[in-house]
Structure 1
């Protein structure tokens, strides 16, 4: 595989001058416009912005689900642009975890089989002790044989989190992971993600529209028109909500923030 992982590097994800353009010359839309940002290892980053701001494209490019039009994405020291499709698929399976709003569990499989699926797809034998440890960590000990249909929404998302953790990935990307959950269950899931960062040194990048969800992160990045226009460190829910309101016009920020370098690199 092209590239050399750098486990000791400060940034687990680094975007350099990333642009993602859709459409032709006459109707070109820049979903990401010259974004440069580094995300530190062992941190929890939330990404927010209005509809069409580029946050989903940011996640997809950072996670290797989509290739940028220009610029580079380094993940765990590997330049994703240099990987062929098969290499990229293998890299995502081994080094990246995903948590989605819709859980994306296989209904015919047990909790145990859903969690260990990434390992088995990679041709690796799940280690019983490691699997049991992950299930206990997410509060699913004793439910290994249950199927998704027998679990609550919150429990299903815990299965998805365990599945993301089992490969010990360099980074976990969450796409509105609490969007389908009630307030109490969402708080439980966010606390679980926070613990994964603080206790296991996991790196998490989460797209969300919810200021309360974002307040669990170490840093919130605000996107607008494909650019990073602002950020908050150690935010409260009220601060995030206020900033989103303040940025509602998006064009009223200082010129320095509007360059797309609103967050420190």
Structure 2
């Protein structure tokens, strides 16, 4: 597919093995008459075992897309399906259980509890779900993220990159269908960011997980298989086999050629709701 063809595609094509599907998702804040449109009829499919980056100018709806896809917010209209299950049909309790069991999260701010050790932070989602952590599974994820020798340390005793590795291990321990990252390298220096991105790439290639990452960084986006671009709450197109240069060129064009939304406005929310 050429870059021109990718740019013209409002609904990026995926294969039949979709783990996540958003169909005509619309999210409006503030009511239907004078509301602000954050997502304006987004349709998107994510293949199992893929790494997708989501990018766009400020206010394009990136975080809102992630929140709706992860079941943190309910769309105003449209559907979100995880492994074929309609998230909109679930009660709040069932949705919370689904997030604990089948979705992993990695945030810019790490969201670790300072009083807990590495191993206790990693196993927290399991304990909150009333499940006893399997020792072998916990050791496996700690080994995968390179922290097997730090299991008894607390966050204050770790570097920023190591703390983010703890967050990734926490996301992996439940063997989720999808891992969502909201600017996961935003608080890291270049070296630690590269290590964390390499780990996410490894999680996809070796563990077969699906990763969706919101980022503003073209270098980070280039670790993905595909970049999906948003503008004013709509999909402006997608880019396969991205490089930092091609991603940066796309972002420059999007800033100069915004995609109009239904009412000419777009916004997103930066506040992540409580997960557990």
- Give the TM-score taking structure 2 as reference length: 0.87
Whether 2:215 is the aligned partner of 1:208: answer yes
Q: 2:230 aligns with which of 204, 223, 226?
A: 223
SS across alignment from 2:40: strand
Superposition RMSD on alpha carbons, in Å?
Answer: 1.2
Residue 24 of structure 1 and its aligned partner are, at CA, apart by 2.9
SS across alignment from 1:142: helix
- Distance in 2 (alpha carbons) for counterparts of 1:252 and 1:34: 13
Q: Alpha-carbon deviations, 1:85-115, whole Å to 9, x = none?
A: 0000001000000000000000000000000
Point out the more displaced range, 122-131 or 177-186: 122-131
SS across alignment from 2:137: helix
- Distance in 1 (alpha carbons) for counterparts of 2:198 and 2:104: 18
Report what 2:35 is aligned to. 28
Report what 1:18 is aligned to. 25
Q: 1:193 aligns with which of 193, 200, 204?
A: 200
**Which 4+ stretches in 1 moved above 2 angstroms?**
24-27, 250-253
Whether the 8 Å CA contact 2:57–2:254 is kept in 1: the answer is: no
Report what 2:51 is aligned to. 44
Whether the 8 Å CA contact 2:55–2:228 is kept in 1: the answer is: yes
Alignment of 1:101-250 (within 5 A): 101-250=108-257
SS across alignment from 1:187: helix
Whether the 8 Å CA contact 2:18–2:48 is kept in 1: the answer is: yes
Q: Alpha-carbon deviations, 1:45-99, whole Å to 9, x = none?
A: 0000011100000000000000000000001221000000000000100000000
Report what 1:97 is aligned to. 104
- Structure scoring higher RCO (CA < 8 A, sep ≥ 6) equals 2
Residue 25 of structure 1 and its aligned partner are, at CA, apart by 4.3
- Give the TM-score taking structure 1 as reference length: 0.90
SS across alignment from 1:102: coil
- Distance in 1 (alpha carbons) for counterparts of 2:204 and 2:259: 34
